[in-house]
Structure 1
Amino acid sequence: MSIPVTASVKKPSLRGVVFDMDGTLTVPVIDFAAMYRAVLGDDAYASLGSGGVDILHHIETWGPLEQQKAYETIALFERQGLDRLQIMPGAVELCHYLDSRSIRRGLITRNVKVAVDFFHQRFGMEFHPALSREFRPYKPDPAPLLHICEAWDVPSHEVLMIGDSLKDDVVCGKRAGAFTCLLDESGRYGPIDSLTDDTRPNFKVCSLSEVISLLDAHFDLVSDVQKTD
């Protein structure tokens, strides 16, 4: 009796991984609710901030002086956060794994370049390109991720975006045509199936330590031996 041969499913190729920074590569330390209240005021925060308004885009509708004051307030909270900056558990191991397979790694954050430079220096790891708030437009617009793909000369469907925000990181990745992975340490987002189509990631993990096995199981990792970081 002949035994039927089961055709193997070809895994998609993966050439690069792009990370969010705050809350993904680093432990969350900024009190965003307090920052929103300081920028918007208590009354406006009650009607806007608690409803998930994008504070950066909201500020851009203000006059120049109001914008300057708001950005100074945000920068103060971000500087205070740098004093308490910690690397996310599993981040170093994951980056070493990617480096061992010659997989490119980049970074997109809505934080400022000073914070990115501090992160690179403090933890001795570099991401290229590393796009900060100075790059416009911000996430969730796909432009920063598409810029990285173009710099790498890699199609977006061979890139994975990892972040802790559905509305910023996952939406950015989906709009760019990349694979997406949500880091949900506390389980606040619930099962993937419960999420709407425009925010549903391809994968969800509770820690960065899970990503290595996820990559091995779901992707054909294509090494770029000519990568220059």
Structure 2
Amino acid sequence: MPLSSLSKSLLFLHPKRPFHMANRTTPRARLRGVVFDMDGTLTVPAIDFAAMYKAVLGDDEFRRIKAENPCGIDILHHIENWNPDKQLKAYETIADYERQGLDRLQIMPGAAELCGFLDSKKMRRGLITRNVKASVDLFHQRFGMKFQPALSREFRPYKPDPAPLLHICSAWEVLPNEVMMVGDSLKDDVVCGKRAGAFTCLLDETGRYDSPDYAAVNLKPDFKVSSLAEVHSLLEEHFDLAP
């Protein structure tokens, strides 16, 4: 059966777990919940991460680390071993950029509609972010959407460690392979999902992950979309949505 144009744009094949198109002879995988990243996924990107990293690391160190890490800089892990005074200053800088981002917080187009669709199917929805709990609380309050559990940076270890996603699966009493992780970061969201054993969907609005810089990355998402609106069709086409 030929792939539809939509499926071609969404589907990535993983070498260790090829994902076959659902048809009359291949049953669709059961999906019981969806876990979302927040910044850049449920909300419009509002933090200038490059400027934040430069402020924390300095220009020279930022360029060096960026050249060594084409998938992006993991600033939280990078500063974990700094001396306490230097680390405290780094956290204060990060927190300042995050506060500025809160002032500009906007819901991502398609997020409300996607959550409404999941609610109509009685599907669980959770949230994992490397931002602080205050940001999650503001998100819930401002946009009237509730994700449960909603794990912030205070939960350790944080993404890309699979621990937060496994914690949510345990709270839901479901298997990791019955859950999908949706996020805009290959190094955080996709790696977290893959390590946990969940399905993964990468939100890539601008096509940045089509760059040759990412061609050699071992872990690929099961799906890749350019908007949250595409996730609705993806779920209906490829999964048996069972609460």
Give the alignment's TM-score, normalised by structure 1. Answer: 0.91
Greater RCO structure (CA 8 Å; 6+ sep): 2
Question: Which residue pairs with 1:53 in the alignment?
Answer: 73
Judge which range, 49-58 or 29-38, deviates more: 49-58
Matched AA of 2:223: F
2:131 aligned partner: 111
Give yes or no for contact 1:36–1:49 (8 Å, CA) kept in 2. Answer: no
SS at 2:210's partner residue?
coil
- The structure whose Rg is larger is 1
The count of corresponding residues between Structure 1 and Structure 2 is: 216
Q: TM-score, normalised by structure 2?
A: 0.86
Q: Is the 8 A contact 1:171 1:198 kept in 2?
A: no
- Write the deviation string for residues 150-200 of structure 1: whole angstroms up to 9, x where unpaired: 000010000000000001000100010000000000111129xx7456320
SS at match of 1:189: helix
CA distance 1:13–1:195, shift in 2 (3 Å): farther
Candidates 40, 51, 54, aligned match of 1:23: 40
Partners of 1:101 and 1:23 in 2: how far apart?
Answer: 25
- The aligned residue for residue 3 of structure 1 is none
For the residues of structure 2 that align with 1:204 and 1:122, how far apart are their CA atoms? Answer: 28
Match of 1:32 in 2: 49
Change in CA separation of 1:117 and 1:7 when aligned onto 2, cut-off 3 Å: closer
- 1:87 maps to which residue? 107
Counterpart-to-counterpart distance in 2, 1:160 and 1:63: 37
Gaps of 5+ in 1: 1-5, 224-229
Structure 2: tracts of 5 or more residues without a match: 1-22
* Counterpart position of 1:184: 204
Whole-angstrom distance in 2 between the partners of 1:74 and 1:112: 10
Identity %: 71
2:151 match: 131
Q: Deviations over 1:47-89 (max 9, x none)?
A: 1245433110111010111111110100000000000010000
1:73 to 87, 93, 103: 93
User: Is residue 170 of structure 2 the alignment partner of residue 153 of structure 1?
Assistant: no
**Of residues 27, 32, 55 in structure 2, which corresponds to 1:10?**
27
Question: Separation in 2 of the partners of 1:160 and 1:46?
Answer: 34
Shift of residue 42, structure 1, vs aligned partner: 1.7
Letter in 2 for 1:92: A
User: Over residues 81-115 of structure 1, what are the superposed CA-to-partner deviations in whole Å (9 max), with x where a residue is unaligned?
Assistant: 00001000000000000011000000000000000
